Amino acid sequence: MTFDRRRFVQATGVLGLASAFPIRAQAGSMRLGLMTVKTGPLASGGIDMERALVQYLKEHNNTLAGRKVELFVGDSGGVPAQSRTKTQELVERDKIQAMIGPLDTASALATDDYIRSAQLLTLSVAAAEDMTQRKPNPWFTRGTSTSSQCSMPLADYCAKTLKMKRMVVIADDIAYGHEMCAGFMRVFEDAGGKVVQRMFPPLTVPDYGTYLAQLKTNVDGIFLGFAGSNGFRFLRQMNEYGLIKKVTPVGGMTALDEAVLRNMGDEALGIVTSCWYSAEIENPINQKFVSAFRNEWKYDPGFYAAATYTEAAVLDATLQAIKGNIEDKAAFMKTVRSIKVDTCRGPVQFDQYGNVVGNIYIRKVERKDGRLVNRVIHTYPNVSQFWTYKPEEFLKNPVYSRDSPPYKNLES
Amino acid sequence: MRIANLTHGALYMLGAYFGVSILKVVPNLWLAALLGGLAIGVLGALFEKLVLRKLGGNVLGQVLVTLGVAFIIADLCLMVWGGDPIPIQTPEFLQQPVRLWGLVFPAYRLAVVVLAVLVGVLLYLLMERTRLGAMIRAGVDDMEMARAVGIPVSRLFTIVFCLGAALAGAGGIIGGPIMSAYPGLDSDMLPLALIVVILGGVGSLFGAFVGSFIVGFVYTFGVALLPDLAYVILFLPMILVIAFRPKGLFGKFAA
Amino acid sequence: MLLLLLALLPVAMGEYYVNLGSQILIFAVFAASINLLLGYGGLPTLGHAAYLGVSAYLSALVALKLGLGHALGALLALAGTVAMAALFGLIALRATGLGFLMLTLALSQVLWGTAYRWVSLTDGDNGLRGLTRPFGLDGAMPFYYFVLAVTAGSIWFMARYVASPLGAALKGTRDQPRRMAALGHHVWMVRWITFIYAGFWGGVSGLLFVYYHKYIHPVSLSLANSAEGLLAVIAGGSGTLAGPLVGAAIVMLLKNYVSAYIERWNMLLGFVFVFIVIFMPEGVVPGVKRLWRRFTSKG
């Protein structure tokens, strides 16, 4: 049967391929995995993640706490099931001992149960809130931010400093967008403001015309919870419809990231955003990081690059504290949750759920040296994922989502 | 031309990226669109002559190869232009909104509408009123007879494919100020194009024209009124039309 | 004999390869179900991921929201998928060729959009997680044997269908629909039944999928997924039994294995497709057969 013959050839082929690529296991070295996205719409952030991590390792001679590091990079293409498969590949084939990443929330959620069963030490970039809240994963640490960790302080700033009273929120129609807006709305309304309109366009909508046409203009500002290039496209279209002067845009942590900013023009000037990072932060570690990154790649590092650079610093500090003994997973997790590290984003430490507590910066877009930058105009220190709410109270409510907490002040 | 061509979205995207590069040298958008369109047209012609021609009526082969080329183009764009979305500047004099009858319209979008109508009319005239158009239609309707009468069908098909590709490429550049160039643009545009053509009816230019209006209106208003059903609304008109009229609204062939 | 080889696979290789093997087999069932429509029925479908997705989601929802066991969950999932296939078949079969293709695409996109937006049911972009495998088959090797058994069974059933009188009628409608109608065959009915049958096996692959990943996300219902399945069938050779399996292996290996070594594996996949079309336009299996025959006849 030709049926058999084909399968046989194929099976032998696979066996042959397998023996051609034996697993390298060098004694004494440490195997680190990076789960990122290098193809598809999230690729630009993912590529930055790799660049910054490689830079950190190079600056430290590829050695952390006295052990040589072997880096294995996985590309999930932004597809959650693929992310999980690639993580399995990194663990089962390349035998990684720790993983930095993944990039996107859905991938983190997809890999959650595998991380638990494989007990994989994970330093995440992804913002999935519940992984450090109601369903905390004991092997999971996050040095970046939850979705709402940056939007809540911004709401405070809008209400108290910018004196806004009525606002609109708009974000991509995904969990990340919902979580950001819910957090923003809660803090804004607790400070006396009202969110009178919310819009959640589909993630891949090509044109924001319909949404702009419905936008209320009798408001003080609009909060943009977009990710990737959507924030930039929305702003441009807002400009084209003549709305940018009427309704002041303020942005979440990914709306005007350095990666997007470098392709924008004057329409971005003066826009206030909040994030746990800015390339303009003035501490010695960051200045060194930014100038080296810019020298190599000719653009400023943003959210994603800073994410892996920070996670690498956390990894480094933790390893040093446990004398490089990454094999002791329990000690690693215990240490990482009690450690304090100075990084490019400022000082960081972690709460009992594994989420970072650190500075959140309010930034304004300005022109410097002929390019657009996010200048830091205000710092909220020691911000946790719960903002000023008590953790026990916070966790009693269901996770931030489209309708939780409910939007009580919407006007039609 | 009855070719299942799934590369079209990728050609649009490639056009947009070409536009980004061309605009660095030639700062005029319309000129860039022309040049970019020409470049893509040439690529399209090459592709048709060297690869698609060999497939004849092998529809599955066409699907496979056009999708394969689409993958290749997408990855090439990622390699050359990187993963970030790249904006294309709106021409200066069209940047301000226009006030008409008390409503505000972005000037550039109005310009694109005008251009689209113009192109549609030109294409229609080309196909219906010129000798070239007549020869093309003859070649599609009955290839053997047309050949027997001396019409160089193969060369004409290459020209048509070239024209289609050129329009896609130019479209990418003209759409640039609205859409920008970004990875994934190809898979965003392709379903839209396919829906419009199928709904309007394969083989009818007028059908494509009408189809795009219908889809545009239904989608835009539908999304505003019922945002939860966005994807349903996009496909609903097509499903309804095909279910009741398999040729599409003005189609010449049972698709 | 091939079954023996596949059964020996996990003994020879490590966990990662065994898992890869499971994934290839799952995708092979998916591709084979598409082949029923495409290869034997002449009906190109670009929306088959819908059945994989619906069955996976139903199984997940039944487990998470109703707390029912796997057997009942599988039953309900497959029943739901079959009902959906029957309904979609009614709509899609109003056209053939390109119209059929677009209708299947449209219907599956509708489902895909619904999975994303009906957040209260599907948790939208977060996907559904916290699922379990039947019989607690969490280990790579035992699960692989489970998948192998189900795959072998699925292919066997599909082969029987094709060899049966109904299958012969199906092939007839593919080649000569008008003549078949003239001979008194109910062309539409043959196609509709095949559509439902193909949907059923698509649903089976969906169950295997959700058991393997313990997670389901709307992206599994996407056009990209349907297209991958269709491409696997065309590349392997539609209208043959082995074609979809070979095609599935090619696509999966490139996606999962090669992608670790070659960054631009998408482009490589594209080139592989172009290569196949130029040198083996009927697909790999018939093409290799042809070349083999030419080779052996020369010698």
pLDDT 10s digits, C255-276: 777 776 777 777 888 888 888 8
Residue A283 reports pLDDT greater than 80: yes
- Bridge partners, residue C215, by sequence: C129
Residue A241 and residue B106: Cβ atoms within 8 Å? yes
Per DSSP bridges, beta strands A248-251 and A272-275 are parallel
Q: What is the pLDDT of residue C203?
A: 93
Q: Which of A7, A14, A175 sits opposite C2 (nearest CB)?
A: A7
3-state secondary structure chain C: CHHHHHHHHHHHCCHHHHHHHHHHHHHHHHHHHHHHHHHHCCCCCCCCHHHHHHHHHHHHHHHHHHCCCHHHHHHHHHHHHHHHHHHHHHHHCCCCHHHHHHHHHHHHHHHHHHHHHCHHHHCHHHCEECCCCHHHCCCHHHHHHHHHHHHHHHHHHHHHHHHCHHHHHHHHHHHCHHHHHHCCCCHHHHHHHHHHHHHHHHHHHHHHHHHHHCEECHHHHCHHHHHHHHHHHHHHCCCCCHHHHHHHHHHHHHHHHHHHCCCCHHHHHHHHHHHHHHHCCCCHHHHHHHHHHHHHHHC
A186, amino acid identity? R
Which tens digit of pLDDT belongs to each residue from A172-190? 887 788 889 999 999 999 9
Measured between alpha carbons, how far is A332 from A335 in angstroms, rounded to an integer?
5
Categorize the per-residue pLDDT at A408 as very low, low, confident or very high, splitting at 50, 70 and 90. confident
State which residue of chain C sits closest to A82, comparing Cα positions: C256
Q: Which residue of A has its CA nearest to B88?
A: A263
Residue A34's closest CA among A76, A80, A3? A76
Does residue A168 sit in helix, strand or coil?
A: strand
Domain layout of chain C by residue ranges: 2-298
- Which architecture, in CATH terms, is C2-298? Orthogonal Bundle (1.10)
- More confident call, A297 vs B27: A297
| pLDDT cut 90: percent of chain C above it | 18
Query: Within an 8 Å CB–CB cutoff, is residue B127 touching chain A?
Result: no
How would you write the pLDDT of chain B (255 residues) with one tens digit per residue? 666 677 888 888 898 898 888 888 878 888 888 888 889 989 888 888 887 777 766 677 777 788 888 888 888 888 888 777 777 877 777 777 777 776 777 778 888 888 888 888 888 888 888 888 888 888 777 778 888 888 887 888 888 888 888 888 888 888 888 777 877 788 778 777 877 877 777 777 778 888 888 888 887 777 777 766 777 777 887 788 877 777 777 766 544
Average pLDDT over residues A21-29: 51
| CA distances for A334 relative to A319, A338, B60, angstroms | 12, 7, 57
Rg (CA), chain B: 19
Please indicate whether, in this complex, the C-beta atoms of C277 and B61 are within 8 angstroms of each other.
Answer: yes
Could you tell me which residues come within 8 angstroms of residue A316 by beta carbon, excluding any fewer than 6 positions away? A56, A60, A64, A65
Asked if the Cβ–Cβ distance from C273 to B255 is below 8 Å, we say no
What pLDDT, on the 0 to 100 scale, is given for residue B253?
Answer: 56
pLDDT at C298: 67
Assess whether pLDDT exceeds 60 at residue A401.
yes
| Residue A251: CA count within 13 A, CB half-sphere | 29
Among C110, C267, C276, select the one facing B232 at the smallest CB separation. C110
Only one residue has tokens 């998928």, namely: C81
Residues of A in contact with B231 (CB under 8 A): 202
A217, A249 Cβ separation under 8 angstroms: no
- Say if residues B90 and A240 touch (Cβ distance below 8 Å): yes
CA distance linking residue B65 with residue B78, whole number of Å = 20
pLDDT on residue B3? 66
DSSP string for A231-272: HHHHHHHHHHTT-TTTSEEEE-TTTT-HHHHTT--GGGTT-E
Mutation target among B13, B55, B72, B73 for the C interface, most CBs of C within 10 A: B72
Residues of B in contact with C276 (CB under 8 A): 64
Chain A residues inside the 8 Å CB shell of C6: 7, 11
Q: At what angle do helices B8-25 and B29-50 cross, to 10 degrees?
A: 140
Write down the ipTM of this complex. 0.74
Of A198, C223, A244, whose CA–CA distance to B227 is shortest? Answer: A198
DSSP β-bridge partners for residue A366: A373
Q: Is A66 helix (H, G, I), strand (E, B) or coil?
A: coil
Name the region of B65 (left: φ>0; alpha: ψ -120 to 50; beta: rest).
alpha
Instruction: Classify A277 as helix, strand or coil.
Output: coil
Which of A240, A241, A267, A303 has the highest number of chain B CBs within 10 A, making it the mutation to test binding with B? A240
* Closest to C64 in 3D by CA, of C127, C116, C158: C127
**What CA–CA distances, in Å, run from A227 to A99, A181, A194, C168?**
23, 13, 24, 53
Question: What is the per-residue pLDDT for A17?
Answer: 42
C114 touching A (Cβ < 8 Å): no
Q: Among residues of chain A, what percentage have pLDDT more than 90?
A: 34
For residues C242 and B82, give the distance between their C-alpha atoms in angstroms, rounded to a whole number. 39
Provide the CB-side half-sphere exposure for B97 (13 A, CA).
17
pLDDT at A25 over 60: no
**Nearest-CA distance C200 → chain A (Å):** 22
Q: Which two tokens stand for residue B182?
A: 């970004």
For residues B155 and A204, the model is more confident at: B155
> Which residues of chain A have a CB within 8 Å of the CB of C116?
173, 202
Instruction: Check residues B67 and C206 and name the one with the higher pLDDT.
Output: C206
Q: Which of A320, A372, A307 is nearest to A102 (CA)?
A: A307
**Eight-class DSSP state of B229:** G
Nearest to A39 among B78, B221, B227 (CB): B78
Measure CA of the first residue to CA of the last residue in chain A; give whole Å.
69
Query: What is the C-alpha to C-alpha distance for residues B40 and B248, in angstroms, rounded to an integer?
Result: 29
**pLDDT higher than threshold 70 for residue A15:** no
Q: Which residue has the tokens 């970004």?
A: B182
Please tell me the predicted confidence (pLDDT) of residue A23: 42
Helix axes C187-213, A80-92, angle to 10 degrees: 50
In whole angstroms, what is the distance from residue A355 CA to residue A347 CA?
14
If we measure between CA atoms, which residue out of B159, B137, B160 comes closest to residue B149? B137
Using only C-alpha atoms, what is the Rg of chain A?
22
Give chain C's radius of gyration (CA, Å): 19
Q: How far is CA A55 from CA A21, A264, A288, A313, in A?
A: 27, 26, 11, 12
Q: Pick from A173, A229, A236: which is nearest to B182 by CB?
A: A229
pLDDT at residue A362 greater than cutoff 90: yes
pLDDT-based confidence at C84, cuts 50/70/90?
very high
Q: 3-state SS of chain A: helix, strand, coil percent to 5?
A: 40, 20, 40
Q: Which of A308, A346, A335, A340 is nearest to A59 (CA)?
A: A308
Report phi then psi at A34, rounded to 5: -125, 115
Chain A residues whose C-beta sits inside 8 Å of any chain B C-beta: 38-47, 173, 199-202, 204-207, 209-211, 213-214, 228-229, 232-233, 236-237, 240-242, 259-260, 262-265
Chain C, window 251-290: residues with a beta carbon less than 8 angstroms from a chain A beta carbon: 253, 255-257, 259-261, 263, 266, 285, 288-289
Please tell me the distance from the alpha carbon of residue A30 to that of residue A327, in angstroms, as a whole number: 9
Q: What is the mean pLDDT of residues A18-26?
A: 40
| Neighboring chain B residues of C116 at a CB cutoff of 8 Å | 231
Asked whether the predicted pLDDT for residue A21 surpasses 60, the reply is: no
The percent of residues in chain C predicted with pLDDT above 70, rounded, is 97
**Domain locations in chain B as residue ranges:** 1-89+153-181, 184-255
The DSSP annotation for B161-206 comes to HHHHHHHHHHHHHHTHHHH-B-TTHHHHHHHHHHHHHHHH-TT-HH
Q: Which residues contact residue B135 at a Cβ distance below 8 angstroms, ignoring those fewer than 6 apart?
A: B146, B151, B156
Which residues are bridge partners to A365 per DSSP? A374
Residue of C nearest to A40 (CA): C266
What is the count of residue pairs from A and C with beta carbons less than 8 Å apart? Answer: 112
| Contact B130/A at CB under 8 A | no
- For residue C276, give the nearest of B64, B191, B231 by CB distance: B64
Structure tokens at C66: 């109703």
Answer for the pair A407, A185: CB distance below 8 angstroms, yes or no. Answer: yes
Q: Which two tokens stand for residue B212?
A: 């795009």
- Euclidean distance between CA atoms A409 and B103, whole angstroms: 28
Of A331-345, B50-64, C96-110, the one with minimum mean pLDDT is: B50-64
The rounded distance, in Å, linking the Cα atoms of C15 and C141 is: 7
Residue in B75, B230, B246 nearest the CB of C95:
B246
Contacts of B226 (CB under 8 A, 6+ apart): B233
Q: For the segment C125-182, what is each residue's pLDDT rounded down to a tens digit?
A: 778 887 888 887 777 888 888 888 899 899 889 988 888 888 888 888 888 877 888 8
Instruction: Please report which helix (H) or strand (E) contains residue B24, including its range.
Output: helix B8-25
Mutate which of A7, A84, A114 to disrupt the C interface (most C C-beta within 10 Å)? A7
d(CA A302, CA A260): 9
Average pLDDT on A310-336 reads 89
Cis status, amide bond into A406, omega within 30 of 0: no
Q: Which residues of B touch C101 (CB under 8 A)?
A: 4
Nearest-CA distance B221 → chain C (Å): 17
Tokens of B181: 């160039």
- pLDDT at residue number A3: 37
